[in-house]
Structure 1
Amino acid sequence: SKAPLHYFLVVSGGIHISLKRENVTNLDFMENCGGKKFEEFLECAIPPGDRLVRYSLNPCANCGPEIGLVTANAEIITQRINGKETLATVSVMVKACTKCDNFRQLFPNVLEVEISFYKYILPALKQFVVDQGGCKVLDFFPKFHGVFSSSQSDAYDEDAILLIENVEEPGQQVTYLQCPGYNFETTNNILRDLAIFHAVPIAFKSVNADKFIGQVIPHLQYRRTYQDMSEKLESELLDIAIKAARLSAEGEELLPRVVKAIGDNLLNFSTKDLQMESEQFLTIIHNNLYLDNVVAKFENDIHVENKFVGLNMLEYGSLARDLVFVLLMSVNMEVLKESYWEFIRGYYNTFISVLMELNCDTHQYTLELLQEEIRRMGGTMEFLHVMLTTSQLYGQQKDAQPIEDDTEVDLLSEVEQYERCLQRMHEIILFFGRASWI
């Protein structure tokens, strides 16, 4: 049978400009890490009182693209130790870095951030909430089972394997191009969890800065830079943005602002100077939170909970960047245009309530300051992020045969549904323009 393909971005000149497809049917390297028994590693995901009977490891054919990662699903068959109960199945997600040497040189710590989040950052945040007498449980992430590593210390091992709960039920997770976007209720629920995720680190930093700096900051990275973005990609991105803008007279009028915004965004991403982002709004940001990285659970067509996944791009940055990105990349455009201010107010109300619950002074967090931060981050940083990601996601739909490992496929020239991509980018341009973000 045709092997499932795992999509990931390769880098040329410092920025993802190409799409590469890697056949990942051979997962032996996952089972031979440091000579340890893989079965022993999987046992950490088994409920107490159960024993592992057998397991199967298969590539995730339906998982979203995660830069430089190979993702597999392990189906573990278990049985009660006394043998009297029937067999049960435990499904977990197994993640490791690709074995592509070129990619490892470009992104040596692609899994390190996610491992650090589960091992160090999330426990520190949860303990802070407990210490402050809060009730927020930060339960919108998959359960962490463990890290399989050949290293005998806490130092990061590039061959490490991460084991987490598999929160995606087969056939239920839809991708960016399969969904028209979130409705009002689902968007509000996601923004509620995002507000909690943003507020807890800010409260931690405010209440106990020394502990926050010691326990959290060392495990986060600052802004990725686009300083080596190739002239070819910049030219192609400008070309498709110009064509998208020209789909209407309103878009045509915005053309000078579109061109300027892309240039300014590139310049802003060429530095790691956090002074661009307001100090009071600096927190842990997902940095890639959109439809493919949110597993929304429904019961009887009612949205009941979320799980945020794809945590390998976490950064210390302005919360407004996450807000702009998730709204423009995940919400139905008509819903967004009608309910944008309700979404922002709902997010803000949850954000403030969490800060108050955690005994944090809220005087510097006004709705007006949040709106200004959103406007600034939208125009100075996230316009490029949204436009690049949109072109990337449409480009991934090309149904191609597996290619050689060292072959690059141009990202923007392989957009299969070119007209749909142009239309979506046109809607994004109009929204940014009407909001006066560009």
Structure 2
Amino acid sequence: MEEIPNITDLAQVIEPHLPEGCTLDSYDSRYLTKPGDNYGSIMLAVQAKIRSSDGGVRELPLIAKLPPLTNDLYWQIFQPERTCITENAVYQYLSPELDKLQLQSGILPAQLFDGFPRYYGSRISLDPRTSKVDRNAVLLQENVTVRGFRPGNRHRPYNLAETVLILNSLAQYHALPIALRLKKPQAYEEYVRPYFKKFDMNSNIDPAEKELMNSEILKDIMSVTSDDRDVIRVKELLDIFDSFQASKDVEDGPFTTLVHGDLWINNMMLKYDEEGTPIKVKIVDFQIAQYGSLVHDIIFLLFSSVDVNVLEENYKNFLTIYYNAFIQTLRTVNVDCSNYSLDLFLEEVQQTAHIQLPHAIFMMKVILADVSTMPENFKDVDFSVLSKNTGIKTIVTKFEAILRLGKKFNIFH
């Protein structure tokens, strides 16, 4: 069994986030995910014992997220120098600023947007003066599974009820930073904008690997269509997605906000009531969050994580549901919505949606990968999984659906 990484001086990270007079007594940790070389980060489940000023000790279940300490390739691809700082900023700056904006607009404390897990501190290094992320970086957040949230199952895409809940939450997550930019530009420029620069995960991937991945995808596409134009278009879309990733920071527009960038079933936790009704969402893993059009998250979510039949029946509904929740959120914080007509929103969808189709196609290779080709945990996935999963029926069927629905909804063009 591989040794669990030790977190040096955990007290210094967590104690500022505990109630007054509380200290960290001790903690135990175990791998939340399979030990070994993790993919984008190492996740530990931490059971902290917190001593209060009256001497009582209580348990506090946490998750500690560390950069990929043991694997230089993943360090190079995931670029913790950027990803850790971005993810920390969501909890450190963005979340408190959004809370303040809502409270100052008169929203009741119990009704604030609560799509983020609670934050218990972070650091990028033991050296407080450095701005460079090193191997002592850590992010602490509540373990939301203790409160009944659970991750999705990649082989069971979201149903109608789950999708409606998530779209409402996503609309709030997108609308509030826009409201912050419009109403408190100074806070926005200082606390938010600098941390969400464009991020290109391909920049450190060997071009030959990239070429191989794309050719494996095109092999599968050829098997589901008799029209060469489809194959040519998917190849174009893969190139468009790559150049989108490598492009410069975007200018402010009505629908530009903090895009999660990786919003699929593994990065959301849902809570259900006794009847099994989905009631709350937590969004996790903000490592590649970046500034851009909110359409990226909507389309990637719908095409990567929602049941095909549900999407086919409800695509237009979903856009309207999202739009209504988005406008409602802007109104609750007193933003003038005259620049936000449904037509303008749908135009933004038409301009941007096609960029996310190749992203969804690519991710299907991971999401629907045959269990026998997968390590026990996602964090161990490497590029070989893509070629091992060429020709697998569930994936090929999903590719066929993405092409068909992309055309049907007029976003494959």
- Fold match by TM threshold 0.5: yes
C-alpha separation between the residues in 1 aligned to 2:98 and 2:146? 28
Residue of structure 2 in register with 1:60 after alignment? 32
Identity value in percent = 22
Q: Find 2:320's aligned residue among 345, 369, 376.
A: 345
Give the residue type in structure 1 aligned to 2:392: Y
Instruction: Check if 1:94 corresponds to 2:94.
Output: no
Q: Which amino acid aligns with 1:93?
A: I
Does the aligned pair in 2 maintain the 1:151–1:157 contact within 8 Å?
no
Deviation sequence 1:17-41 (CA, Å, 0-9, x none) = xxxxxxxx3233x323xxx3x3565
The correspondence of residues 216-235 of structure 1 with structure 2, limited to 5 A, is 216-224=192-200, 226=202, 230-235=207-212
Does the CA-based 8 Å contact 1:223-1:317 persist in structure 2? no
Contact 1:282 1:318 in 2 (8 A): yes
- After superposition, residues 37-116 of structure 1 pair within 5 angstroms as 38=10, 41=13, 54-61=26-33, 67-77=39-49, 88-99=58-69, 100-106=71-77, 107=79, 108-116=81-89
Rate the CA distance shift 1:67–1:272 in 2: closer, same or farther, 3 A.
farther
Would you say 1:328 and 2:303 are equivalent positions?
yes
CA distance in 2, matches of 1:264, 1:255: 14
Output one character per residue of 1:199-238: Cα deviation in whole Å (capped at 9) or x when no partner: 1111121223233112211121224264676245335424
Matched position secondary structure for 1:139: coil
Number of equivalent positions: 399
- SS of residue in 2 equivalent to 1:95: strand
Distance 1:400 1:340 in 2: 34
Q: Is the 8 A contact 1:182 1:331 kept in 2?
A: yes
Q: Does 1:413 align with 2:387?
A: yes
Using a 3 Å threshold, how does the CA distance of structure 1 residues 333 and 219 change in structure 2: closer, same or farther? same
CA spacing shift, 1:193–1:171, aligned 2, 3 Å? closer
1:385 maps onto 2:356 in alignment:
no
CA distance in 2, matches of 1:26, 1:68: 19
| Distance apart, 1:267 and its partner CA | 3.2
Task: Please provide the CA RMSD for this pair.
Answer: 3.3
Q: Is the 8 A contact 1:286 1:311 kept in 2?
A: yes
Alpha-carbon offset, residue 174 of structure 1: 4.6
Name the CA shift for 1:147/1:245 in 2 (closer, same or farther; >3 Å): same
Residue type matched to 2:197 in 1?
A: Q
The alpha carbon displacement at 1:69 in A equals: 0.8
The letter for the 1-side match of 2:359 is H
Instruction: Report the equivalent of 2:99.
Output: 126
Return closer, same or farther for 1:72/1:147 CA change in 2, 3 Å cut-off.
same
- The one of 188, 201, 213 equivalent to 1:212 is 188
Q: What secondary structure is seen at the aligned counterpart in 1 of 2:27?
A: strand
Distance 1:231 1:43 in 2: 47
Contact 2:42 2:67 (C-alpha < 8 Å) held by counterparts: yes
Q: Report the counterpart of residue 259 of structure 2 in structure 1.
A: 285
1:109 aligns to what SS in structure 2? helix
Deviations 1:218-262 (A, max 9, x none): 12122426467624533542443342353255x766333323322
**Unaligned stretches of 5+ residues in structure 2:** none
SS of equivalent to 1:192: helix
1:437 to 2:411 alignment: yes
C-alpha deviation, 1:296, in angstroms: 0.3
- Give the TM-score normalised by the residue count of structure 1: 0.80
The answer to whether the aligner puts 1:422 opposite 2:399 as a matched pair is: no
Q: CA–CA distance in 2 between the matches of 1:228 and 1:48?
A: 44
Residue 255 in 1 paired to residue 231 in 2?
A: yes
SS at match of 1:279: coil
Map of 1:19 onto structure 2: none
Counterpart amino acid of residue 175 in structure 2:
A
Aligned 8 A contact 2:152 2:268 in 1: no
Distance in 2 between the 1:326 and 1:145 partners?
A: 28
1:194 aligns with 2:199: no
In the TM superposition, residue 171 of structure 1 has moved relative to its aligned partner by: 10
CA distance in 1, matches of 2:155, 2:34: 12
- Counterpart CA distance in 2 for 1:339 and 1:292 is 22
Q: Name the stretch that deviates more: 341-350 or 392-401.
A: 392-401
Change (3 A) 1:307 1:409: closer
* Deviation at residue 351 of structure 1 after TM alignment: 0.7
Within 5 Å, which residues of 2 pair with 1:295-306?
295-300=269-274, 301-306=276-281
- In the TM superposition, what is the alpha-carbon distance from 1:46 to its structure 2 partner? 6.1
What code does the residue aligned with 1:257 have? R
Whole-angstrom distance in 1 between the partners of 2:290 and 2:115: 18
Structure 1: give runs of 5+ residues left out of the alignment.
Answer: 4-24
Q: After alignment, is 143-152 or 331-340 more displaced?
A: 143-152
- Corresponding residue for residue 185 of structure 1: 161
Q: Normalised by the size of structure 2, how large is the TM-score?
A: 0.84
**Following TM superposition, by how much is the alpha carbon of 1:336 offset from its aligned partner in structure 2, in angstroms?**
0.8
1:271 to 247, 252, 256: 247
Structure 1 residue corresponding to 2:341, chosen from 363, 366, 372: 366
| In structure 1, C-alpha distance between the alignment counterparts of 2:288 and 2:230, rounded to whole Å | 31
| Alignment partner of 1:162 is 2:103 | no
C-alpha distance in structure 2 between counterparts of 1:174 and 1:198, whole Å: 21
Kept in 2, the 8 Å contact 1:285–1:319? The answer is yes
Deviations 1:25-80 (A, max 9, x none): 3233x323xxx3x35655567666777564321011279x9853111001234577
Q: Say whether the 8 Å CA contact 1:325–1:382 is kept in structure 2.
A: yes
